[in-house]
Structure 1
């Protein structure tokens, strides 16, 4: 019995037989297989690097909802107040100290942060349900 042969797709090649070609616009050597995804930019832009979070939470959403209303854990609420009490000193050592403090806290000491977490979470869930209901009404009105 004859064995079926597998089809092999050949790699695209430039006119000179190489797997790279020079871009007409910028002159950069680009792999032919990726040439359609190559974007030329005359001035090379510097990569913006994330330098960490500091400052007040800002909303990523358009509208009246703010990032302060987003659900967070009780530990996040604790760390926000912990760092607020040590204003001006923001380092990894302060964060470690806050983590150790949280770890050594009793359930009663954590309770205010847990209550705050549940309150924000319930408000967020209610807003989501309202949004779902509004969206379903719009869909059915059409």
Structure 2
């Protein structure tokens, strides 16, 4: 797993080391849509398609990546989890770099602007990007 993750990191990205990380069962998609409250008050966790035995840091990263998309749910969940160790926290940036690197599209609007910083003579019209909605 470590080799596969590191193969998707750029040279300047920190490398992932799972040597001191214990594997635990992670859901990796904990969100309000995947919670079902039973009549007796018990909670069922649905949609285990992304689950697997991973370092528990992966569960934290899954929440950091989508933080804010479900209101304060992610923050509340993160605050209720046992804190990460210094060793686990040391791997956070490598995992988040990995996640950014494997995204097919960057939907961050500022990402478009950064593309043109490399080609200052290129305008958005030259690149086929509409300057206004019609």
Q: Same fold (TM over 0.5)?
A: no
Name the larger-Rg structure. Answer: 1
More helix by share: 1
TM-score between both structures, scaled by the size of structure 2: 0.25
TM-score between both structures, scaled by the size of structure 1: 0.24
More strand by share: 2
